[in-house]
């Protein structure tokens, strides 16, 4: 049993599935639960996808909880067409996986976050790779968890590069900028793993072929899922020559911060119409000491990719 405990907060699409695999394979952390969110797919489907991936990886012990169904400022959520294109309508590259043997937990994802914070305190790591709605609601209900949770490493935002759904906004932040601002301006210890670094960490079919050569169910299924992702990137981002490892990079960085260089900065999320979802330094707090956000600016791609492949290939050999 590792000392550090991790909760993933996922809108389980393809890179979220790789984040689950990385967290399961990592030897220095225990994945204690997954909270489903909306974004790449609707929340209930995200939960089912998480259950399917966990089952594929032989981890029926990790519970999955339903999070919020939509942003804090709306009463519904519709999947963006670009998300359905990138991840497939089923969220996992149109690859068929068996119906999960388990059910989603009855407890809400927000309640699970709060209870885990009380139980594990500084040993708890929370990694949201979708909108920040669940975490914002948890700190609103139980403000004390801001001082209990050891680390929050989020995949989202963009500081030095343009957004991917607007010139200023990254998709996860764009889903609920109000909630994101509440998290960024909280007392939580935050690391932002945004497009600044995730667009530099790329996977190609050279790597997925290595999974196929294992001749295991998990290796073949993950290769099918990720190859779909790579093929879509050839259409949407041909200049990258691979698919970005957005969500699994956040898991990697929270376990090994030396993978990235960072800028410590007090930040906020702009919720004005013109700059909706922009993650930027907070002018009102620029001179305050001890900023609460570390923004990843550069990444050691080779070191991370080698570890990513080592972890996942070893895991897929066993499943």
Could you tell me the CATH number of the domain that includes residue 62? 3.90.245.10
Reported as a pLDDT band with limits 50, 70 and 90, residue 286 is confident
As a dihedral over the C-alpha atoms of residue 207, residue 208, residue 211, residue 215, rounded to 10 degrees, the angle is -140
Sign of CA dihedral 122, 112, 126, 158: negative
pLDDT at 237: 84
pLDDT at 81: 87
93 φψ region: left (φ > 0), alpha (ψ -120 to 50), beta (else): left
Given a contact cutoff of 8 angstroms between Cβ atoms, the answer to whether 296 and 264 are in contact is no
Q: How many domains does the chain have?
A: 1
Q: Count the Cβ atoms, other than its own, within 10 Å of residue 23.
A: 26
Q: Which domain holds residue 182?
A: 5-317
pLDDT in tens, 68-84: 999 989 989 999 888 88
Give the residue ranges of DSSP H helices in the chain. Answer: 14-25, 43-56, 81-87, 109-120, 133-141, 171-175, 177-184, 195-198, 205-212, 217-236, 246-255, 301-317
Catalytic residue at 246? yes
**Mean pLDDT, all residues of the chain:** 95
Given a contact cutoff of 8 angstroms between Cβ atoms, the answer to whether 280 and 270 are in contact is yes
Catalytic residue at 118? no
pLDDT in tens, 102-135: 999 999 999 999 999 999 999 999 999 999 999 9
Reported as a pLDDT band with limits 50, 70 and 90, residue 56 is very high
Choose, from 11, 176, 224, 270, the residue flagged as catalytic: 11
CA dist., res. 84 & res. 81, Å (int)? 5
- Read off the pTM: 0.96
Choose, from 181, 227, 246, 247, the residue flagged as catalytic: 246
CA dist., res. 270 & res. 275, Å (int)? 6
């Amino acid at each position: 049993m590792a000392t550090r405990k991790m909760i993933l907060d996922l809108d389980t699409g393809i890179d979220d599935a790789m984040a689950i695999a990385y967290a399961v394979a990592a030897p220095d952390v225990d994945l204690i639960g997954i909270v489903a969110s909306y974004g790449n797919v609707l929340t209930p489907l995200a939960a089912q996808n998480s259950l399917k991936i966990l089952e594929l990886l032989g981890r029926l012990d990790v519970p999955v909880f339903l999070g919020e169904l939509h942003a804090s400022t709306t009463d519904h959520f519709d999947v963006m067409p670009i998300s359905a294109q990138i991840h497939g309508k089923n969220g996992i590259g149109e690859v068929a996986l068996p119906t999960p043997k388990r059910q989603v937990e009855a407890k809400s994802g927000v309640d699970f976050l709060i209870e885990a914070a009380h139980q594990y305190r500084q040993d708890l790591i929370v990694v949201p790779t979708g909108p920040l709605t669940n975490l914002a609601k948890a700190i609103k209900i139980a403000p004390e968890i801001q001082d209990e949770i050891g680390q929050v490493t989020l995949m989202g935002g963009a500081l030095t590069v343009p957004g991917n759904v607007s010139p200023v906004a990254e998709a996860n932040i764009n889903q609920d900028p109000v909630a994101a601002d509440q998290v960024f301006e909280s007392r939580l210890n935050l690391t932002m793993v945004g497009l600044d670094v995730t667009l530099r960490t790329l996977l190609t079919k050279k790597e997925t072929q290595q999974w196929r050569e294992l001749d295991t169910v998990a290796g073949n299924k993950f290769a099918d899922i990720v190859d779909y992702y790579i093929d879509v990137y050839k259409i949407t981002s041909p200049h990258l020559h691979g698919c970005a490892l957005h969500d699994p990079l956040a898991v990697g960085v929270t376990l090994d911060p030396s993978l990235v260089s960072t800028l410590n900065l007090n930040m906020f999320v702009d919720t004005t119409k013109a700059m909706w979802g922009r993650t930027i330094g907070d002018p009102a707090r620029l001179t305050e000491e001890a900023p609460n956000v570390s923004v990843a600016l550069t990444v050691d791609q080779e070191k991370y990719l080698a570890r990513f492949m080592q972890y996942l290939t070893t895991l897929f050999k066993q499943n």
